[in-house]
Structure 1
Amino acid sequence: MGHSQAAKAESRERVLRITARRIREEGMARPGVADLMKEAGLTHGGFYKHFTSRDDLMNQAAALALLDGESKMAEAARQNAEDPRLGLIESYLSTRHRDAPGTGCALVTLGAAAGRGGAEIKEAYQKQVRSYLALLSETADGDTPGETQADAILTLSAMVGALLMSRAVADPQLSDQLLQTVTERLEHTTVKV
């Protein structure tokens, strides 16, 4: 790859990473192309050298944001060798995760956009939901595949919902209580089908 092609690829990657962070923080509707390009140190005019449209950028950045969470969840599961499921729950429902949406799980911020979006974002969202369910299934204690899948679905749904609500409420005590209560309940919950 020549220097100009390498520089172009590096610029494109920088724009995608910045956009992925910003949509985790703000959702897909807010970041404007001009602001994103400026933050990347590029001109607005150069945008079309990298992407066909704003929707193209948003879809690619959303897929990247969703994918970024996969390695973080796997790492969280490895933090507690005795109980990987608990390690994952505690990491996901931590105040650190709540307070850092720009580097956090994109399932939380992209759920509504994926629900209203086209096939491309729905497929990226679905891929990550399935990936997280598989990871949670690996860490679950279900007696049957059905119980294991049910436990993974309940756990993921509770974690995403609790994190979303903890970020959305104004009362810091309620925010903390949401995280703590769901963590404690999930620690002691195994689904029986």
Structure 2
Amino acid sequence: MGHSQADKAATRARVLRITSRKIRAEGVTRPAIADLMKEAGLTHGGFYKHFTSRDDLIAQAAAVALTEGSAKLERAARGNERSARDGLIDAYLARRHRDRPATGCALVTLGAAAGRGDERLRQAYEKQVRAYLELIEGPDGDGRDAGAEAMLTLAALVGAVLMARAVADEDLSDELLETVARRLRQPASEAS
């Protein structure tokens, strides 16, 4: 790759990284191209050297956001002595994750947009959902029950963080995270 091609690739990666953080923090409709390019140290006119349209940028940035945010959580899950599921619960339902959406898991912030988005966005979202389900289920998943439990766990994690970020009362926000974490850690036989 020539020097100018390397520079172009680095610039593109910088724009994608900036946009991925913005869409996690603000959603897909808010960031304006001019603002994103300015933050990347570029002019608005340079945008089309890297992307065909705003939708192209958003779809690619969403894929980056989904992958980037999950990398941290996957490390936390795999580093837990008890189980990957418990590690994911601990990391996902932490106040730190709730309070830092720009660097957190994009499943929370991109869910509604993916549901209304183009095929590329839905596919990127689905890919991440499947990766989390596989991580939660673990290598020794025992069929339907493990798959169903993984789906329930993931839905509870994403929903709890979404609601904890959305409510105004900080005590309620903390309670949502703590209660869902406690219930998810309970064995199925005790939860009834």
**What TM-score comes out, normalization by structure 2 length?**
0.95
CA distance in 1, matches of 2:131, 2:185: 21
Asked if 1:127 corresponds to 2:127, the answer is yes
* Residue number in structure 2 paired with 1:6: 6
**Equivalent position to 2:146, from 145, 148, 155:** 148
1:42 matched to 2:42? The reply is: yes
How far has the Cα of 1:84 moved from its partner?
2.6
Does the 8 A contact of 1:28 with 1:58 survive in 2? Answer: yes
Unaligned runs of 5+ in 1: none
The whole-number CA distance in structure 1 between the counterparts of 2:30 and 2:119 is 21
- TM-score normalized with structure 1 length: 0.94
Number of the residue aligned with 1:104: 104
Q: Deviations 1:5-49 (Å, cap 9, x if unpaired)?
A: 111111000000000000000000000000000000111110000
Quote how far apart the aligned CAs of 1:71 are: 1.8
CA contact (8 A) 2:70 2:104 kept: no
Identity %: 63
CA RMSD of aligned residues (A): 1.6
Cα displacement (A) at 1:167: 0.2
From 155, 173, 176, the equivalent of 2:174 is 176
* 4+ long deviations beyond 2 Å: 189-192
Question: Partner of 1:70 in structure 2?
Answer: 70
Q: Secondary structure at the match of 2:178?
A: helix
- Maintained 8 Å contact 1:93/1:179: yes
Aligned partner of 1:164: which letter?
Answer: L
* 1:102-126 deviation digits (Å, cap 9, x = unpaired): 0000000000000111111111111
Counterpart amino acid of residue 151 in structure 2: I
Matched residue pairs, number? 190
Secondary structure of 2:138's aligned partner: helix
Q: Report the equivalent of 1:165.
A: 163
Secondary structure class of the residue paired with 1:30: coil
Shift of 1:139: 7.2
Deviation of 1:2 after TM superposition, in Å, equals 1.3
